[in-house]
Structure 1
Amino acid sequence: MKQHARDIFYGVIVGVANIIPGVSGGTMALVLGFYERLIGAINNISAATVMAMIKALSFKKENIEAFRAEFNKIEGPFLIKLMAGALMAIGALAKLMSYLLENQHDPTYGFFFGLVLVSAYTPWSLIKKKTLPAIIAIAIAAAGIIAVSEIMSDDDIIRKAEAHQQVTEQTETAHDVTGESVSIGKYIFHFASGALAISAMILPGISGSFVLLLLGGYFDILRAVATLNLPVLGIFAIGCLAGIIVFTRLLNYLLRRFYDPTLGFLLGLVLGSLWVIWPFKHSVMVGSRFVHLSNRLPGSIGLNEIATLGAFIAGAVIVVIMIVIEKRSRKA
């Protein structure tokens, strides 16, 4: 029972993380200690899994037994509990998190900063030999995340926010957008951007939506969601599926062949993400929303800074408690 509750709780944390811009579900999977299990489970999904699922629809006993064996091979129960927790979190907390990000930006990010900072202990402890290649991998990955996050200047971010506002206003009044023609080249682009974005989401420290933004496909997908453009969304979803299958196989191979450097690289992505989720940012108003820009140090100590510090401590304490409970459960 405890195992079921824990897996669902992990899903909830991943779901909440995916709502927060700059926080990756892959980050939470790594720092909570189930990243390798997740990658391994997805890696086991194959054509045989799909065929077993289709044959099971005949409801013949032997086909159902074959599907059950295949389902356990891919750790289906674990994946379903994880997905259920994530969907529950997104459904139940999306509006709350949207409110907190809009009205309590700094404390909200302060909480996740504390959560991620202390959680970095978990992947660090999993590195068996702290050799030079592992340390170099950490440094390269951390520097890479910071560099990618700084690709767009404050002016670029403001322009993107203004474009986002324009797209939102257009889709609110659009009626015939779903009928617009889309070229074959555009469909290929949506497929590729889906594959790259989902691959980024699997990696700790990288936001899939940010990758879409860099590729120039973010607003196309946003418009497709708003107008229910099913052909575009379908191609994008197929790209995501292809990306997750191919990329998890690559990651699984790297973890088997180069465990410590690969885990070091993943840890570096987590540490680099701390730059992205630093709670104090310069901000400007675009339309009716605040847009948060480059990092800053707090200029003075007020209620906002105290609340942010309190949220940081709360996030850190929660992780410490989870680590202690996990260690005790292993000893028991």
Structure 2
Amino acid sequence: MSGRESMREWFIVYLKGMFMGAADAVPGVSGGTIALITGIYERLIAAITALDPGVLRYLPRVHRRTERAELRAALVAMDVPFLLALGAGIATALVTVAQVMTYAFETYPGLVAALFFGLIAASAIVLYDHVSLDTPRRVAVAVFGFVLAFALSGPEVSNSMPNSPLFVLVAGSIAIAGMILPGISGAFFLYVLGQYEFLTGTLTEFTDGLVGLASGGSLEVLIEPGIVILAFGAGALVGLFSIAYAIRWALANYREATLTFLVSLMVGALRLPATEVINNTPVATPTAIGSVLAVAAVGGALVLLVDRYTADIDFS
């Protein structure tokens, strides 16, 4: 493979990462689903499960040529270059979408909520075929999932969730499961836990601070948002090797019950965007109602469009 061809391949991986990041940035389609569509899901999971902290033993002697060669070989064997290229694409999309969503939350909060309603509702519809209510236990799982999400998605609960680094760490560990597993979006969990708007705003604040730093700004403006981002990243690492594995195990061994629970969460969580739409649409004029319905329809259509190209995907 020539250098040019190699760079082209890495650029394609980067673009696929951008598509994954764009999906992960809104509570609808999962980045894992996009990975399936683009044909890199198996490689992604293999690379993640191949990560070995033992490679750090090379770092103290990295100044030696032989140790650098061994370190490079170990990283290539774990497919770390692939993860870096993919991660760069995901990060680019997350930053870009965060900028857009921060502006949208400030300017069109009702329409943003309508978009999220359409995305979440359509996602529940797409996964409904995988729901099974043929046993009392699965019915109980569905009821529990719905009640749990309905209770958490009440504005009085969601808006009262703390934005502390510790809670962000917990939210990150939960969200990462949705970000890499097909079927449910990581941003959905952040939205229900009341962290979505806070984190998109924090990411925007951090990137704006970086831009300002390059033009002579203060480093202090990066400290507070930087701590939040580090907390989320730490939580994502914890979840990557714990919660994500647990959900994969549950899907492999209790597929119907797990998907029933996840879909019930989505349906129960529709309370939050519905309430936000009502609260931010004080005057129910035909134009306002039409705009809300149109935006919700667009969100639903996006999910259904993705589902059209994933009809043969087995979410187990």
TM-score by length of 1: 0.60
Aligned to 1:323, which of 307, 310, 315?
307
2:111/2:295 contact within 8 Å kept: yes
Q: 1:275 aligns with which of 271, 274, 282?
A: 271
- Does residue 144 of the first structure (1) align with residue 148 of the second (2)? yes
TM-aligned CA deviation for residue 199 of structure 1: 2.5
- Report the CA distance between 1:318 and its aligned residue: 2.2
Q: 2: CA distance between counterparts of 1:309 and 1:270?
A: 19
Decide which of 93, 100, 103 is 2:97's aligned counterpart. Answer: 93
| Structure-2 change in CA distance of 1:86 and 1:238 (3 Å) | closer
Q: CA deviation at 1:68?
A: 1.7
Q: Counterpart of 1:102 in structure 2: which amino acid?
A: E
Aligned to 1:260: 256
- Secondary structure (helix, strand or coil) at the match of 1:206 reads helix
What is aligned with 2:30? 28
Alpha carbons 1:107, 1:311 under 8 Å: kept: yes
- Matches for 1:132-211 after TM superposition, within 5 Å: 132=135, 133-150=137-154, 152=156, 157=159, 192-202=166-176, 205-207=188-190, 210=193
Aligned equivalent of 1:47, options 32, 43, 53: 53
3-state DSSP class of the match of 2:279?
strand
Cα separation, 2, equivalents of 1:68 and 1:281? 52
- Evaluate the alpha carbon distance shift between residue 123 and residue 46 of structure 1 in structure 2; reply closer, same or farther with a 3 A threshold: farther
Q: How far 1:280 moved relative to its partner?
A: 1.6
Which shifted more, 138-147 or 43-52?
43-52
Aligned 8 A contact 2:173 2:238 in 1: no
Distance 1:249 1:51 in 2: 25
How far apart, in 2, do the equivalents of 1:9 and 1:137 lie? Answer: 33
**Unpaired stretches in structure 1, ≥5 consecutive residues:** 18-22, 165-188, 214-218, 284-295
Task: Report the identity percentage.
Answer: 17
Cα displacement string for residues 78-128 of structure 1 (whole angstroms, at most 9, x for unaligned residues): x5455334322333233332222222222222223222222224433456x
Gaps of 5+ in 2: 1-8, 179-184, 197-201, 206-219
CA contact (8 A) 1:13 1:86 kept: no
Q: 1:226 to 1:140 in 2, by over 3 A?
A: farther
Deviates more, 1:318-327 or 1:231-240: 231-240
The 2-side partners of 1:107 and 1:266 are apart by: 25
From the superposition, tell whether residues 151 and 103 of structure 1 become closer, same or farther in structure 2 (CA, over 3 Å).
closer
Change (3 A) 1:45 1:136: farther
User: Residue 140 of structure 1: CA displacement?
Assistant: 1.6
Structure 2 letter corresponding to 1:317? A
How far 1:255 moved relative to its partner? 2.7
Q: Distance in 1 between matches of 2:284 and 2:266?
A: 28
Structure-2 change in CA distance of 1:193 and 1:64 (3 Å): same
Structure 1: how far apart are the matches of 2:309 and 2:238?
Answer: 37
Offset, 1:239: 5.2
In the alignment, what sits opposite 1:68? 76
Would you say how many aligned residue pairs link Structure 1 and Structure 2? 267
